[in-house]
Amino acid sequence: MKKNFLLTLFSVLVLHSAQADKGELISFYFHKDALFELSSVAKVAPQQFGKYELKEAPGNEMRRAAGNYIYVDETGIYLKKNKLLNISREEVRENSKYTVRDNYIHGVVENDSLPVALDGEEYYFLVPAKTYLIQNPGGADRMMQISKSRYAIFTYEDNGYYSAIIVDFVAGGIELKEISMSSTGDQSVEQIEKKEVKEPEGNGFKTYILSPTKSEWSSIIFSKCLVTYDSYSKLAG
């Protein structure tokens, strides 16, 4: 469930599939034992705490207009953005939980009201939504510090293995990166010596369970296989 949500949220294939030169699709995850090769931390350095806004880029106009931010604090690293929801005039009339006064709807968010716009028979409003990339404490999820400014967030998936995204704190902002691997070429999974291969079933492509060594994490995955998919600027204050 968590994996599918993140894939939808970022509109990219974060870690789970790549296309080789011949068009072959693979999926991959990391074995829990491989995480012991990295340094686990509960939270990032306090100087990285703050609010970060999605940068202007082609295709980001709607996301920025709706509000799309990353927050970093003692509780973890999380995305906060507005979801557009609606409710019918009939529902507001018949359900005492909701009231609309002076272009604000009450009852959607506890102890608060939200600006609302009426279009036909529907009221529309934006509701802030928070999604943690990593929460402290993180349960089965793990955050590893790769360098002074780079962290790898490992998410425990339903299949018992881990997916990962990379959070890079760059000058004045954050870059979110996926790990991109394929069956051949410079990003080939074949470079990882210890791996388990699960043959295709219903999904039609092989699944690799990777157990990189400390050297392979450094020289292959974190050096050759990272692709930036979103960039954020740190806001003052």
- Predicted confidence at residue 64, as pLDDT, reads 66
Q: Given the structure tokens 């608060």, which residue do they identify?
A: 112
The confidence band for 9, taking pLDDT boundaries of 50, 70 and 90, is very low
Calculate mean pLDDT across residues 77-87: 86
- Alpha carbons 117 and 105: distance in angstroms, whole number: 9
| Token pair 């974190």: residue | 222
Ordered by start, the domain boundaries in the chain are 2-234
| Per-residue pLDDT tens over the stretch 35-74 | 999 999 999 999 999 999 888 877 766 666 656 789 999 9
Judged by DSSP in three states, 228 sits in strand
Residue 22 has pLDDT above 50, yes or no: no
Task: Name the one residue in this structure whose structure tokens are 């609606």.
Answer: 86
**High-pLDDT (> 70) share of the chain, %:** 84
pLDDT band at 18 (very low <50, low <70, confident <90, very high): very low
Strands 25-30 and 206-210: parallel
Q: Which residues contact 56 (CB under 8 A, 6 or more apart)?
A: 64
Residue-level pLDDT at 16: 41
Q: Which segments of 64-193 are extended strands (E)?
A: 68-73, 76-88, 99-101, 104-106, 113-119, 122-135, 142-145, 150-156, 162-170, 173-179
136-179, pLDDT tens digit by residue? 886 899 999 999 999 999 999 999 999 999 999 999 999 999 99
* Helix H or strand E encompassing 172: none
- Give the distance from CA 5 to its chain's centroid: 9
Cis before 137 (ω within 30): yes
Q: Is the pLDDT of residue 236 over 90?
A: no
Q: Chain centroid to CA 70: how far?
A: 10
